[in-house]
């Protein structure tokens, strides 16, 4: 059975820099024979976790929104490539809302444990907080017990908009996808 890599874009902009980057990242994975899937937060509505505690005793979240389908996508993925715009030096609120809601999967058997994850951040400035943003995404991965991949040299994909003309940034994105695929290949 082929392994599935899911791209998650935390940008509210449809066809923005993050979505274009996730497209590129997934096309590289597809060329290598991986199945891919996408979660684009520009198209989905995910409310923040309210710490109601329901998921402590049942694999259930009382918030009725697009997260229901996402749980299934996350559980059935072998790896994630997560990209976020840098908003005030960290990830977007849209992505943070998704991350917080995944506590349900952690409380019900660490269902994301052992999956592979890599991160990308896109900013409007060269040094706008991409590394910190990647670090925050990596924290989500570590707290789920995932295996975190960088770009073989540093932390992940670090890009400045418009991403198409950021050659250095595009290389870190490609290297991050390659690192995720190489890590997955060890489990084949």
Ligand X SMILES: Cc1cc2nc3c(=O)[nH]c(=O)nc-3n(C[C@H](O)[C@H](O)[C@H](O)COP(=O)(O)O)c2cc1C
Strands 116-123 and 157-160: parallel
**For ligand X, which stretch binds (CB under 6 A), given 9-17, 65-73, 138-146, 174-182?**
9-17
124 contacts ligand X (rule: CB under 6 A): yes
Nearest 10 degrees: Cα torsion 137, 140, 145, 147: -10
139 contacts ligand X (rule: CB under 6 A): no
127 and 43 Cβ atoms separated by less than 8 Å: no
**For ligand X, which stretch binds (CB under 6 A), given 13-21, 66-74, 142-150, 177-185?**
13-21
**For ligand X, which stretch binds (CB under 6 A), given 45-53, 121-129, 145-153, 179-187?**
121-129
CA distance 46 to 49: 9
172 contacts ligand X (rule: CB under 6 A): no
129 contacts ligand X (rule: CB under 6 A): yes
> Across the strands, what pairs with 124?
none
Please report how close the Cβ of residue 48 comes to ligand X at its closest, in angstroms: 17
146 and 130 Cβ atoms separated by less than 8 Å: no
Which residue, 92, 155, 89, is CA-closest to 118?
Answer: 155
**To which H or E segment does residue 83 belong?**
strand 79-85
Residue from 3, 28, 41, 85 touching ligand X (CB under 6 A): that is 85
Site residue total, ligand X (CB under 6 A): 17
> Across the strands, what pairs with 149?
118
Residue from 89, 114, 182, 187 touching ligand X (CB under 6 A): that is 89
94 contacts ligand X (rule: CB under 6 A): no
Residues that bind ligand X (CB under 6 A): 11, 13, 16-18, 85-89, 122-125, 128-129, 161
């Amino acid at each position: 059975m082929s392994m599935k890599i899911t791209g998650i874009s935390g940008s509210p902009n449809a066809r923005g820099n993050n979505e274009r980057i996730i497209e590129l990242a997934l096309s590289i994975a597809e060329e290598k024979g991986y199945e891919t899937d996408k979660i684009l937060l520009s198209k989905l509505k995910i409310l923040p976790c309210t710490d109601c505690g329901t998921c402590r005793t049942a694999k259930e979240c009382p918030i009725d929104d697009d997260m229901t389908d996402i749980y299934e996508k996350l559980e059935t993925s072998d790896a994630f490539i997560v990209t976020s715009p840098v908003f005030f030096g960290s990830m977007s609120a849209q992505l943070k809302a998704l991350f917080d809601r995944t506590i349900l999967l952690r409380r019900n058997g660490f269902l994301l444990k052992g999956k592979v994850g890599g991160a990308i951040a896109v900013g409007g400035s060269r040094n706008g907080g991409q590394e910190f943003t990647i670090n925050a995404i990596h924290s989500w991965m570590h707290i789920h017990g995932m295996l975190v991949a960088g770009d073989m040299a540093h932390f992940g994909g670090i890009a400045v908009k418009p991403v198409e003309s950021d050659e250095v940034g595009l290389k870190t994105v490609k290297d991050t996808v390659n690192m995720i695929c190489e890590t997955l290949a060890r489990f084949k």
